[in-house]
Structure formats: C-alpha cells, structure tokens
Structure 1
Amino acid sequence: THVIAEVSSHAIDLRRVDSCDFDIGIFTNLTPEHLDYHVTMENYFQAKKRFFSEVLPQSKKNIVNKMIINGDEEWGQRILKEVSLPSINYGTGSKNDVRAINYDLSLKGINAQIDLVGEEITIQSELIGKFNLLNILAAMAGAKALGISSGEIKLGIEKLKRIPGRLEKIESSLGISVFVDYAHKADALQQVLENLVQFRKKRLITVFGCGGNRDRGKRPLMGNTATSYSDLTIVTSDNPRKEDPLAIINEIEAGIDKQKVKKMIAHSSLNGDAVHAYIIVPERRDAIATAIHLAQKDDIILIAGKGHENYQIVGTKKHSFDDRIIAEEALNLRGNE
C-alpha cells in the first residue's frame, strides 16, 4: 500500500522523479559522496534541497507536513530555513518535534522515551546504536505525518528485529560480539565505530577493505578512520573488481599513522594483546576467520563494507560471498575447537 523510495541526488538533479507525486520526503543527513558528479558539497546540497523546494511542493498528495527533516544536522537546519514547506523535524535536540527525551543504548538494543509531537511514548528496539535511534525517530516522524497512530508506530518499531547488513549482529556463544555492516565510506565507518566504541569492554577489532574501480580518495581516509577507533584493524579486500587487491590495500595503508599504529603479522600472539595494531590479510574469507580466531571474550568485531551483499566481485565475475555466512562458519568452527 505504500512505496518507500531512496531517491538519489542524481535522480533529483536530472529530474527523473519530477513527475512523481510523493506524500512526504525525509532528509537524514549529508556527507561527502558523489563529488565526482556534484564537485562541491554545496552543489550536492542544492540537488538534495531541490527535492523539498521543487519536487514535493508540486505533489498532488494532500499531506500537510510533507517535509521530515533531521533537525540536529546542519544541512537539515538549512533546509528548514530555506524551504517554506510545512515540516516535522526530528532528533535528540530539545527543539525537535519528534525527539528522544531519554534513551539508553547497549549491545542489546535501544530503550527510549520519545516525544512524538507532544505525545509521549516508550519504545524498545533490538537495533544498535545512536544512528539507529535517529533512524527510528525519522520513521516515527514520517509515520506521524502520514496519520498513523502512535500505537501502530510503537508496534512497528518494536517488531523490526534487524536490518540486513546494517550493524547486523551474528549470534555467538563465545562471548564475542560480531557485527556486519555496509559502511563503505569513511564517515559511515566512523559513525558505526563511534557507536561500538562506547560498548567496548576489551578490544574492538575491525575488518574492512575498499572497492576497486571506485573512489580512490576514500581509501586512506578509511584506513585512518578504522585504525583510529579500533584496537586491531584487519585490512583486506572488498570487491576488488579489475584492480589489484594489494594495490588497493597499499592506498588504504597510506592513511594509517604508523607512529601510533603498529603493523604486525597475522599471528596468534595477537590474542588478547593490548597493542594498537593493524594487519593485512588480503583474502576476505581469511580476514574474517582471522578476526574470529584472535578475538577473546568481551571483544567486539566489526566486519565492514559489504553488509547485506551476497557476492564478491573479482575481475568481472561475481562470486557467491556473504560476510554473515562466513562469520557464522568461523564462529562455529571456533566453537568446535
């Protein structure tokens, strides 16, 4: 009965969605991406803003508050100032229409007391981290604008157990917390790691790589981000495509501060070590297995970059590959040792 579409900045700029009658539009955030097309962040913003200033107003749908905007985000605040369309803004700040009054975040999920445009409700979610709390607030604001009751909103939020490949937890009986996430840009990786760091009891171990034949500029940035937040980083392949995986890894390494982060060899002596280090394991399957082999009770493992994808592109061929399945297999093997 409803269609939820992720509308790209390219689609907005090239007027591909101008003939669509949208009920509402939700703005979450804006971070550096697609600059090969937009060139500057201002151009990127203007493309996104056009959805709210031109596309939504011409919709024939009879919804009062068509704009749902992240009021905590600086680009969102600009849209609220520059576009004169009725809106509902959301976030954790006190001036938002939909806001988290109190909230508790843990590896078990989210407990939050929400002000839903003047109505107070409590929700429990199995999703992890503050960015998922913000996503929940966005969904609640959107549902409110569409006239959905608070009871139905609460039920919908609490029924959602996981989002495939988005900080998706892989069950383990070893006392290790393993997560798979699609984060494949520096800012997305930073968001995920910032969320996981606050739950760290011992080590945070990150496995990641960068895709081939894609934005090379993000590779050193991701190397810096991963090693800045992680106790142990395992640099590996993503979808290398037509590039040499080792060449991609070399460009990732260029962003790592060698004065602060020690390069080591994948070795069992890393078990439980407090040293701030990184290792290179080019084969992704081996990298995931290495992380799980090295992890100890209360460690957190993040496997980043591919998330829900069930393939790996090497050359021009797609091979069956799913981080979640590989992680489960490695955990089962470790549990049977």
Structure 2
Amino acid sequence: MKPDKPAPASHRAWVREAVRRIDADFQRSSDTHLIPVALPGFAGISLYLKDESSHPTGSLKHRLARSLFLHALCNGWLHEHSTVVEASSGSTAISEAYFSRLLGLAFVAVMPRSTSAEKIAAIEFQGGRCHLVDDPTTIYAESQRLADELGGHYMDQFTYAERATDWRANNNIAESIFAQMRLEPFPVPAWLVSSAGTGGTLATLGRYVRYCRHETLVCGADAERSVFFDHYLARDAGLRIEQGSRIEGIGRPRVEASFIPDVLDAMVKVPDLWSLGAMHALSRRLGRPVGGSTGTNLVAALACARQMRERAESGAIVALLCDGGQRYSRTYHDAAWLQAQGLACEHEAAAVDAWLSHGQVPAALLAAWRLAGDLS
C-alpha cells in the first residue's frame, strides 16, 4: 500500500535537507587514490590504478549511488517515507543502503542468492534488507514488484546510471583521473580501462574525453558470462543469456540501457579464470586483496599495453580498482571455494605475474580472450 504523499511545502523542505546531507557527506570525503603499478615488461608504458575501494562504502559504486540518489531526489521520486529498492549484485546495494540510512529511508536489495556473504553483511550493517533470488535474470522484475508492493521507489541503476552522472565535470571519476595525472610523465593517458556493470562508468569516461578533446582512448572490459562484448560487435540490444556473471559487479545477461557502445574505442572479453588469476597476481603485487572485476580490468589494461608496445608507443594507462578483496574472502580468495567452482587459477595467476614482469602475453590467454575495436 502506498504511503500518503507529504504536503508540497513539507516535501520541498525534506528534499532540500536530503540534498544538503548528501553534499555534506561528499565534503567529508577525500578523493580516491591513483596508484602506480610497475610494468617491468613494458618499457615506456606506465600503469595506474584508480583505487575506488577507499570510498566510505568500499567500491566504485559509491559514486554511482550518490548520483542516483541526487537524480531521484531532484526528479521528485523520493520522499521522507520512501522505501528504496535496488537490483544489484552487491556493491551498489551496499552504497545505496549507506545513502538510504543517511536520509532515514528504508532500503531493500534484490540480489542473486550467490552474492557473497560479506556483501550481504555489509548491506545489513547499513540497515538494509536483502531479498535473495535464485535466478539472477529475475532481479529486475522482482525489484519493480517489491517497489510497487511497498509503495517505494525502484532506483534502477541499470537504466539510470549513465544519465544520473554529470559526465562533463562535478568531480566525476574521469575529471578526477585527469586532475591526478597532471604531474605524471604522461599527464594525458593513452587509455582508460573499465569493466561494465551498468555501463555508466564507461559512458562517463568516454563522454568526458570527447568533451575535453583528449586523445585518450577508452577500453571496456567484459566478463565471460555477459552480453556487452557481443552487443559492442553487433549492436543488437535484444541479446540475452540465461546465466549470471561469475565476476560479481560486472557483466550482464542482457544489454542495459546505460551501456553506450559508441563511446568506446575497444573492448576485451576476459575469461573468468584469467580475471581471477589476474586478481590474485595483482593482489600479491599490491600486498592487499582486490576484487575479481579489478582482475578483469588488469587483463584489458595489459591488452592495451601490448598494442602500445607493438606500435612502439609510450604513454600511460589508467584502469579501475573497483573494490577490495575482503568482500570475497570466502569466495574468490578461498582456494577451496575456487576448486569447488571449477575456477582454480594458480596457473593463470603465475602466467599473469610473468606477463607483468616480461611483457609476453600467455599463449593460453591469446587463444581464449576476444578483442574488438582498436585492439582487434
């Protein structure tokens, strides 16, 4: 049953206060770090990781959640009695639960039952409730059903991610990267690399470099069980698969409205074993665990470095470190779990480590990955 609508004057006052709280939260937060990663095997090429794990909610999705809430508030979609509902594989839900609590709103996350226990605990810590489904492809319809039933608002990150984000400026992730690169040897990166969950971050990166007239190219990294890469090739918005992605936070079983292929210069489809192998290799080099999507991004970044070296080009590559690996301590960072899932990746991790050191792409990866656009 829908709650009664507040009086117009009272609603406007509540929205003003809600926006103030979100802006104040932003003012209390510093920017995320840009971490250089040595590439001994790629002379003249620098790699940096934009470390989004240092946000208050621990992932890249903190930026998205802030934008989605401001978008919904300024469109008049939220009021002080709203229940916020979101379809998520976990990280966006953690961030939206944080902002819901900040505004005193109830929050329900609709997620696949396979979502890591650590993510579920993080959502509940923020005061959210988790509604788990067996079939990952049903999260959209179930979210809308719950929102209707509760008289709430379905935030729908997959539709609104690219339009809620101010891609021209306002300290979006692209503007932040270029500001942090100003004193580096190559201040304008040759490549920006990000994986796709909603596609909103890639849309922001691609639009921003065009708006600022940079020569930077943008590469999208896709997971094994996902339709984004094939949509990039065929522009078929009707593509569907029946399986959910095994790399949490990225890859989708359908083409999402926020994925804009025309702003991308290239894409790499990374097999899951190699995403997780790269994750482990990078975690060892950084001395702390990272998530699976960061491994996907690393493989795509090294594909860009490989092409630059073949063309005798120097320059910088910036890839996203999407979240920390602590959320996956019982899954991606648990050897027994990996073995049980058929994802044991010790060989791939060693091969990626050697690739970083010597610059030679593993032959098994050459036979398994897919490249498109400027990398093909």
TM-score range, shorter-chain basis?
A: 0.3 to 0.5
- With structure 1 as the length reference, what TM-score do the two structures score? 0.35
Higher relative contact order (CA 8 A, sep 6+): 2
Which has the greater radius of gyration?
A: 1
- With structure 2 as the length reference, what TM-score do the two structures score? 0.32
Q: Per residue, is there more strand in 1 or in 2? A: 1
